[in-house]
């Protein structure tokens, strides 16, 4: 962006003597863009000053009467001005300059941040939260971190088959969840269990799903960490990458048609933005004017693929404009920044019926999953530095302590209790029976068809006749 | 049944028909296998003397369902302004507006994903593929996001979506526009797969599909769109719908069973006419539903005739006929007087030249010869 501006300054100077009325309009809109950087942080503290480029009115090409063309030739070339043409898509000004837009900005898009590394606010430009919310956020971040650590260990011990941690992304999880309401529908990827935790899913429910036992509200149908709960408006995790993005857009469109005061939010990683689904979803979201928050967790890694091998754009935030979607880059390890961005994005999405893209920069401090050992493709020192020096939980705690809302004693108690509760949940879940045979055949369809009823009967008969071949099979 | 219906007063008839149709549609699953029981009698409705093209049948079904339920909406390429690539959605944009008849950018994967998301939320999208060949771009969403979701979410996410469009060979459109996907989608638990033939099939099955809470793949046929069929008065009623999972016996017979679906039903009926002149009475079964497959009707018929010819446009390997053969061998082996014959398309991508295309797809003669072969074999 900045590169464009500096180039355009020269270009404007070059053209200035030739510009007519349109040129004057253009100049003022350029200058307001130029002044963006200076004015950015001068909010009154309540709601941060959100800036976006002046949007010239677009020529609307929507027509739904008939296929008959009804353009007036006069509007194709307004007032006989040779400098512009009303192409399909809108008026475009011509230029004699053979100039290509740069592939990469001179400076990367700036990243919105509230707290510095030691938890001190660098400005007043953030959404204030009161003590109860802040403390709940912190407690959930710690609980989430504890749950991830212990469940990971449980997998290593062979007690569950698989697990996905979100170490390093606790702020993204909890802060984004806290900025939404329960009516907003969440379309997660798989590293957003914290959102579900915030909404009230219990540690026991998490454990039950991971153990695939009878208490699992997923009836043992899916791998661990593939949580889902209608009650919490959290759509079941699917292993397919980025499929949730167009789903979220479709659901947002439905919310809009219903006139509901809610939006959808969908999460995905840097890797997921390479998929066709990402492209189609962003494009559609803009065209359909769907109230969806598209939250990209850019944590630098897609399993072993670093972002430099994933794309060559300046991250994900710049893609928003390519689709006509408003976007922002935030510090994903800064709880207050994430909270503010999502809070404002939600308002925009609902009141203006538009998609908003948020790129949260962070680092995947854990491995991709329990099937991965990331020290094989990145230096351990790098992992350790991010995990320790950039721990979002610690940074938020410092701010809380600065507010006088948290003490060292509370910390010890919380960590202790969280650990006990997680361990207890695992111990209980381990002993619960697995789901009964019946659940193999239910939910394939709304009502089991005759062939499935026959198959179940046949299976039961077989088990009855050969019980020794089917130990531990709850019927 | 047909005669009694005619006698009822107008309102009573409508109510009676409505209740019966509702009851038929509520279950929407194949009735349990009736071993050794004769196939259900041919359904006859009172004749209305009216004919309707398949195109108009689909259009009227869409119109009525959209009118009855504001959650139903149509999405696809060219469905709005262009009135539908094959004019199936003619007039709907004007009547329901752009919010409910949405033209989409060119991305099957995209708009299928969007549609699935809307269905997750609770709307009832009807997604149109210009042909099912293009559905391959979206097949991940059809299978992994739609078909499996109710199961994977343990009943929390139901996906009341319909994917419809022309399937199989048209005329002179080449390999990438001519594949039959009945066997592909028929292999997916969680999906229902319907294959209408006549206008009544088109109306009744599309309405059933839209009302069904499960994802339905609705395979039409481009060449059938313009064909006219007689429709009963009952079929013209807006509450009309056919049960999913029940085949229809188009023509009763005693000597050989011929199963077919979609366009091939017409071919099978023509073959049956020719065979009748040679003293072979063929029973033609219009499958109407690939998944669930009405194995009970098929088996009951085979137990009556003792001979079976399966007909399909798609390739023989792993095809619908292969599945029918397997189920008949499993359940009615001792009733067979001859090996089962499969008539299918050539095991090649569809060629373009008219003569090559003709040979690559089953023709009426192929069905006639197959039926004769298995009738003479037992002599």
pLDDT tens, position by position, B97-133:
999 999 998 899 999 999 999 999 999 999 999 999 9
Please indicate, yes or no, whether residues A443 and A412 belong to a single structural domain of this protein: no
Residues 105-134, chain A: which have Cβ within 8 Å of B?
A: none
Cβ-defined contact of B117 to A447 (cutoff 8 Å): no
* Cβ-defined contact of A222 to B152 (cutoff 8 Å): yes
Window 250-289 of A: residues touching B by CB (8 A cutoff) are 250-255, 257, 276-277, 279-281, 283-284, 287-288
Domain co-membership, B172 together with B254 = no
Q: Do B217 and B306 contact (CB within 8 A), yes or no?
A: no
pLDDT band at B18 (very low <50, low <70, confident <90, very high): very low
What ipTM does this complex have?
0.82
Q: Is the pLDDT of residue A43 over 70?
A: no
Mutating which of A254, A256, A286, A292 best tests the B interface, going by the most B Cβ atoms within 10 A? A254
Q: Could you tell me if B186 and B258 lie in one domain? A: no
Contact yes or no for B152 and A446 at CB 8 A: no
pLDDT of residue B169: 93
**A238 vs B110, B145, B156: nearest CB:** B145
Overall domain count for chain B? 2
- Give how far B273 is from chain A: nearest CA, Å: 34
Write the residue in A254, A446, A453 that is nearest to B158 by C-beta: A446
Same domain, B74 and B216: yes
Domain-terminating residue out of B209, B236, B263: B236
| Residue A335 and residue A376 in one domain | yes
Interface of B with A in 11-50 (CB under 8 A): 27-33
CB B138 within 8 A of CB A247: no
Contact A218 B152 (CB under 8 A): yes
Pick from A222, A249, A446: which is nearest to B213 by CB? A446
CATH number at residue A158: 3.40.50.970
Q: Are residues B88 and B226 in the same domain?
A: yes
> In this structure, are A293 and A317 located in the same domain?
yes
Centroid of chain to Cα A286:
17
Residue B45 within a domain: no
Residues A190 and A261 in one domain: yes
- Are A231 and A371 part of one and the same domain? yes
Q: Which of B33, B140, B245 is nearest residue A243 as measured by Cβ atoms?
A: B140
What residues in B contact A250, CB-CB < 8 Å?
113-121, 125
Instruction: Give the model's pLDDT for residue A471.
Output: 84
Q: Residue A16: its pLDDT value, please? A: 44
- At residue B338 the predicted structure's pLDDT band, cuts being 50, 70 and 90, is very high
Q: Are residues B223 and B264 in the same domain?
A: no
With an 8 Å Cβ cutoff, are A445 and B214 in contact? yes
Percentages helix, strand, coil for chain A (3-state, rounded to 5) are 50, 10, 40
Residue A154 maps to a domain: yes
Q: Are residues A444 and A410 in the same domain?
A: no
A35, pLDDT greater than 50:
no
Q: If contacts are CB pairs under 8 Å, which of residues 52-71 in chain A contact chain B?
A: 62, 64, 66-67
Q: For chain B, how big is the Rg over CA atoms in Å?
A: 20
pLDDT value of position A177: 98
- Residues B22-75 pLDDT 10s: 444 444 444 444 343 343 444 455 667 899 999 999 999 999 999 999 999 999
Is the domain of B187 the same as that of B290? no
Is the residue at B46 inside a domain?
Answer: no
A333-391 pLDDT, tens digit per residue, is 999 999 999 999 999 999 999 999 999 999 999 999 999 999 999 999 999 999 999 99
A454 close to B (CB below 8 A): yes
pLDDT computed for residue A39 by the predictor = 36
B295 touches chain A (CB under 8 A): yes
Instruction: Report chain A residues whose CB lies below 8 A from the CB of B94.
Output: 64
Q: Quick one: average pLDDT of A37-44?
A: 38
Are residues A290 and A374 both part of a single domain? yes
Of A240, A279, A280, the CB nearest to B140: A240
Residue B40 counted as domain residue: no
Distance from CA of A446 to the nearest CA of B (A): 6
Mutate to test the interface with A, among B80, B102, B153, B161 (most CBs of A within 10 A): B153
- CA nearest A282 in B: which residue? B110
Q: Among B236, B256, B279, where does a domain finish?
A: B236
> Nearest CB to A250: which of B93, B99, B118?
B118
pLDDT at A38: 37
Residue B10's pLDDT is 47
DSSP A88: T
Residues 191-230 of A with CB under 8 A from B: 216-219, 221-222, 226, 228-230
Please tell me which residue of chain A has the smallest CA distance to B119. Answer: A251
The Cα A16–Cα A87 span in angstroms is: 24
Same domain, A235 and A368: yes
Q: Is A101 buried (19+), middle (13-18) or exposed (0-12) by CB count in 10 A?
A: exposed
Number of structural domains chain A divides into: 2
A265: Cβ–Cβ under 8 A, 6 or more apart, which residues? Answer: A176, A180, A184, A185, A186, A187, A248, A292, A293, A295, A342, A346
Locate tokens 């840097």: which residue?
A: A270
The predicted model gives B217-231 an average pLDDT of 97
pLDDT band for A472, please (50, 70, 90 cuts).
Answer: confident
- Which residues in A lie closer than 8 A to residue B300 (C-beta atoms)? none
In angstroms, what separates the C-alpha of A131 from chain B's closest C-alpha? 34
Q: Identify which of B27, B33, B144 has the shortest CB distance to residue A238.
A: B144
pLDDT in tens, A449-466: 999 999 999 999 999 999
Among residues B92, B78, B203, which one has the least CA distance to residue B131?
B78
Pick the range with the lowest mean pLDDT from A24-33, A153-162, A303-312, A373-382: A24-33
Residue of A nearest to B147 (CA): A444
Q: Looking at the structure, do residues A329 and A448 belong to the same domain, yes or no?
A: no
Per-residue pLDDT, A61: 42
Question: What residues in A contact B78, CB-CB < 8 Å?
Answer: none
Instruction: Give the pLDDT confidence score for residue A75 in this predicted structure.
Output: 58
d(CA A18, CA A14): 9
User: Touching check for B136 and chain A: CB below 8 Å?
Assistant: no
Domain end point (choices B211, B236, B261): B236
In a domain, A97, yes or no: no
The CATH number for B334's domain is: 3.40.50.920
**Does A247 have pLDDT greater than 50?**
yes
In a domain, A58, yes or no: no
B218 and B349 share one domain: no
Contact A247 B145 (CB under 8 A): yes
- Tell me, yes or no, whether A414 and A345 share the same domain: yes
Q: What is the pLDDT of residue A21?
A: 38
- Contacts with B30 from chain A: Cβ below 8 Å: 449-451
Does B354 reside within a domain? yes
Q: Write the secondary structure of chain B as one string of H (helix), E (strand) and C (coil).
A: CHHHHHHCCHHHHHHHHHHHHHHHHHHCCCCCCCCCCCCCCCCCCCEEEEEEEHHHHHHHHHHHHHHHCCCEEEEECCCCCCCCCCCCCCCHHHHHCCCCEEECCCCHHHHHHHHHHHHHHCCEEEEECCCHHHHHHHHHHHHHHHHCHHHHCCCCCCCCCEEEEECCCCCCCCHHHCCCCHHHHHCCCCCEEECCCCHHHHHHHHHHHHHCCCCEEEEECHHHCCCEEEEEHHHHCCCCCCCCCCCEEEECCCCEEEEECCHHHHHHHHHHHHHHHCCCCEEEEECCEEECCCHHHHHHHHHHHCCEEEECCCCCCCCHHHHHHHHHHHHHHHHCCCCCEEECCCCCCCCCCHHHHHHHCCCHHHHHHHHHHHHHCCC
Q: Is pLDDT at A45 greater than 80 in this prediction?
A: no
Predicted structure pTM score: 0.83
What is the domain extent for residue B154? Answer: 52-236
Calpha distance B331→B275 (Å, rounded): 27
Domain encompassing residue A451: 437-466
| Chain A residues with beta carbon closer than 8 angstroms to that of B29 | 445, 447-450
- The residues of A that are catalytic are 153, 239, 368-369
State the pLDDT confidence band at A73, using cuts at 50, 70 and 90: low
**In this structure, is residue B24 part of a structural domain?**
no
B105 and B224 together in one domain: yes
């Amino acid at each position: 962006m900045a590169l464009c501006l500096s180039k355009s300054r020269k270009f404007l100077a070059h053209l200035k003597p030739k510009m007519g009325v349109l040129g004057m309009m253009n100049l003022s809109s350029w200058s307001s863009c130029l002044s963006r950087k200076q004015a950015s942080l001068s909010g009154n503290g309540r709601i941060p000053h959100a800036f976006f480029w002046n949007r010239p009115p677009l020529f609307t090409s929507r027509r739904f009467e008939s296929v008959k063309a009804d353009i007036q030739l006069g509007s194709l070339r307004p007032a006989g001005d040779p400098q512009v043409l009303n192409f399909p898509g809108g008026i475009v000004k011509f230029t004699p300059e053979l100039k290509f837009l740069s592939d990469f900005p001179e400076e990367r898009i700036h990243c919105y941040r509230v707290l510095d590394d030691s938890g001190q606010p660098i400005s007043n430009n953030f959404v204030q939260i009161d003590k109860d919310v802040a403390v709940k956020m912190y407690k959930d971040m710690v609980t989430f971190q504890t749950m991830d650590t212990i469940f990971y260990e449980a997998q290593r011990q062979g007690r569950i088959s698989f697990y996905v941690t979100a170490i390093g992304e606790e702020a993204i999880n909890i802060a984004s969840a806290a900025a939404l309401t329960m009516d907003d529908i969440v379309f997660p990827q798989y590293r957003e269990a914290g959102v579900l935790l915030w909404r009230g899913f219990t540690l026991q429910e998490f454990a039950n799903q991971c153990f695939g036992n009878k208490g699992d509200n997923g009836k043992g149908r899916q791998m661990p960490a593939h949580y889902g709960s209608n009650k919490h408006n959290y759509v079941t995790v699917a292993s397919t990458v980025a499929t949730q993005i167009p789903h979220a857009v479709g659901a947002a469109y439905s919310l809009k048609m219903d006139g509901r005061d809610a939006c959808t939010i969908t999460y995905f990683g840097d890797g997921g933005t390479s998929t066709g689904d990402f492209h189609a979803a962003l494009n559609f979201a803009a065209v359909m004017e769907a109230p969806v928050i598209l939250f990209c967790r850019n944590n630098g890694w897609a399993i072993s693929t670093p972002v430099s091998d994933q794309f060559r754009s300046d991250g994900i935030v710049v893609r928003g404009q390519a689709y006509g979607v408003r976007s922002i880059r935030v510090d994903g390890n800064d709880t207050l920044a994430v909270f503010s961005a999502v809070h404002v994005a939600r308002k925009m999405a609902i009141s203006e019926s538009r998609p908003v893209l948020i790129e949260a920069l962070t680092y995947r401090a854990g491995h991709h999953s329990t099937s991965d050992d990331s020290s094989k493709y990145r230096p351990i020192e790098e992992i350790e530095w991010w995990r320790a020096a950039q721990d979002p939980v610690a940074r938020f705690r410092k701010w809380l302590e600065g507010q006088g809302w948290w003490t060292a004693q509370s910390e010890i108690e919380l960590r202790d209790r969280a650990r006990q509760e997680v361990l207890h949940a695992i111990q209980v879940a381990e002993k619960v029976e697995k789901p009964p045979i019946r659940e193999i055949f239910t939910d394939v369809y709304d009502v089991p068809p005759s062939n499935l009823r026959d198959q179940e009967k046949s299976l039961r008969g077989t088990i009855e006749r050969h019980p020794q071949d089917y130990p531990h099979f709850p019927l | 049944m047909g005669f009694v219906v005619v006698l009822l007063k107008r309102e009573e008839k409508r109510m009676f028909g409505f209740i019966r149709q509702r009851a038929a549609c509520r279950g929407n699953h194949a009735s349990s296998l009736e071993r050794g029981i004769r196939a259900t009698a041919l359904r006859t409705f009172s004749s209305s003397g009216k004919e309707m093209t398949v195109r108009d049948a689909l259009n009227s079904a869409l119109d009525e369902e959209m009118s009855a339920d504001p959650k139903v909406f149509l999405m696809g390429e060219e469905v709005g302004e262009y009135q539908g690539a094959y004019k199936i959605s003619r007039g709907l944009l004007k009547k329901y507006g752009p919010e409910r008849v949405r033209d989409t950018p060119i991305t099957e994967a995209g708009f299928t994903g969007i549609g699935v998301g809307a269905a997750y939320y609770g709307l009832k999208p009807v997604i149109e593929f210009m042909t099912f060949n293009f559905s391959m771009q979206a097949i991940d969403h059809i299978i992994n996001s739609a078909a499996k979701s109710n199961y994977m979410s343990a009943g929390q996410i139901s996906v009341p979506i319909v994917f419809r469009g022309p399937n199989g060979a048209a005329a002179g459109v080449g390999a990438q526009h001519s594949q039959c996907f009945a066997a592909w989608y028929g292999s997916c638990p969680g999906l229902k797969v319907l294959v209408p033939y006549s206008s009544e099939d088109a109306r009744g099955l599309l309405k059933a599909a839209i009302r069904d809470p499960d994802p339905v793949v609705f395979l039409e046929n481009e060449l059938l769109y313009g064909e006219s069929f007689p429709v009963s008065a009952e079929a013209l009623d807006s509450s009309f719908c056919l049960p999913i999972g029940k085949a229809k016996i188009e023509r009763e017979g005693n000597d050989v069973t011929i199963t077919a679906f979609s366009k091939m039903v017409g071919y099978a009926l023509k073959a049956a006419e020719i065979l009748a002149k040679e003293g072979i009475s063929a029973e033609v079964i219009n499958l109407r539903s690939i998944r669930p497959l009405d194995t009970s009707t098929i088996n009951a018929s085979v137990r009556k005739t003792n001979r079976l010819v399966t007909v399909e446009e798609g390739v023989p390997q792993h095809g619908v006929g292969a599945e029918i053969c397997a189920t008949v061998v499993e359940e009615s082996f001792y009733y067979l007087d001859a090996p089962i014959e499969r008539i299918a398309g050539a095991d090649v991508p569809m060629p373009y030249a008219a003569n090559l295309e003709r040979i690559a797809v089953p023709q009426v003669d192929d069905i006639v010869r197959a039926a004769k072969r298995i009738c003479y074999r037992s002599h």
